[in-house]
Amino acid sequence: MREGQGSRQQAARRIDPLAFHAVTLGAFFAAAAAPTPLYRIYQETLALSPAFVTLVFAVYAVALLKALLVTGSLSDHLGRRPVIAGALALEAAAMGLFLLVGHGAAWLIVARIVQGLATGIAAASLGAALVDVDRNRGPIVNAVAPLAGMALGALGTSALIQYAPLPLHLVYGLLLVTFAGLALAVRLIPESVARRPGALAAMKPRMAVPARIRRPLALMTPINLANWTLGGFYLSLVPSVVAAATGSRAPLTGGAVVTALMVAGAVSVLLRRTLAPRDNLTFGVLATAFGVVLVVAGIHLASVPVLILGTLVTGGGFGASFLGCLGTIMPLAEPDERAGLLAAFYVQSYLAFSLPAVGAGLLARSLGYAATADLYAAAILAVSLGGLAVMRARSGRGLAAA
């Protein structure tokens, strides 16, 4: 018994907890992006409408949000390792459900719901574990790992679809093995918090915006809504938009466009993480606006290079806006207020991430992908630029009054 414990302790010393948690968090979000290049194939093989595809995307986001709200602080009471292990087991089950999608479209809905729950549980527990392990690098990894994971998931799945056999099954089989291996390896990672009572009480959803933070939150809300709406559109419909606009049936084409958004977002977070929130919001909105115009031009010109260039610019704005939104409100909260405020922020964000995507799916069915992209782009530009103008005007008045 002691020999077994000693060998586990030696193995734990050989595994860097920060690296393990970063890789695990990235793996969850890589799996989350894996279905994106497959949506067009699902449409063709299962005769799915664009509206059904965006519904599949939306149920994942809603399930993830529910898991974040209900289990967000569960690992504070049960410990990080048990909750992470449970999330890994649930994610492995989701990968198994994806393997059944060929038997009916309903399995796709079920698999995405289970995956959303697993990812929400993992995001909260792994995010907390990263800060436990390293308070300086942990928050940076929390911001970069999901974007890097989604980039890898979209590009890797696209490559497997294009060059490997079993396009509807191989990626999920590989991910199933990956999550099973991580579930075994998590036993080798040292626990970073002590167990404490109150787990059931902690599962009661809590959202709270302190009175002094309501105005800053309201001012940045249009920018945040536009930012997450953009992300939802990319992860739900962009591969189909690219295929319809350019005529390219190569999965790597659409996958490369989605990957460009995530890579640029991750780079932007790394480069701009020390800048003031107002500067990040201004840069983010303007870069996103310019990038969206380029993306629309690329769609109408049927030019993949212009699409990728526009997406890189848009992604830089996406990452900067995300930093600016969080940086605007979180420093204003006291330590015991942060969880409730963050819950309110993510409710707002994930609703914008999912619900407009369903509307875009309905529009694509009647208007086509190009016209839907035009309307989506116009709405994002109007809301984000209008929000930036109001925010700067109000903050300017506040400075003048002071």
Q: How far apart are CA 383 and CA 242, in angstroms?
A: 24
> Tokens 């506040």 appear where?
398
Q: How many CB atoms lie under 10 A from the CB of residue 312?
A: 20
CATH of domain 12-205: 1.20.1250.20
Question: Which CATH code for domain 207-402?
Answer: 1.20.1250.20
Same fold across 12-205 and 207-402: yes
> CA separation (Å) from 372 to 154, 183, 218, 369, 387?
22, 41, 28, 5, 22
Q: Check if the beta carbon of residue 265 is closer than 8 Å to that of residue 147.
A: yes
The full set of domain ranges for the chain reads: 12-205, 207-402
Residue 39 is predicted with a pLDDT of 93
The pLDDT score that the predictor gives to residue 399 is 36
Residue in 125, 62, 61, 56 with CA at minimum distance from that of residue 97: 56
Give tens-digit pLDDT for 60-91.
Answer: 999 999 998 888 888 888 999 999 999 999 99
Residues of the chain with pLDDT under 70: 1-14, 339, 396-402
Read off the amino acid at residue 335: P
- pTM assigned to the model: 0.90
Here the tokens at position 2 are 């002691």
Instruction: Mention every residue, 6+ apart, whose C-beta is less than 8 A from residue 336.
Output: none
Distance in angstroms (rounded) separating the CA atoms of residues 357 and 346: 17
Residue pLDDT, tens place only, 275-326 = 999 999 999 999 999 999 999 999 999 999 999 999 999 999 999 999 999 8
Backbone φ and ψ of 25, nearest 5°: -65, -45
pLDDT score at 72: 83
DSSP 8-class letter at 197: S
AA letter at 311? T
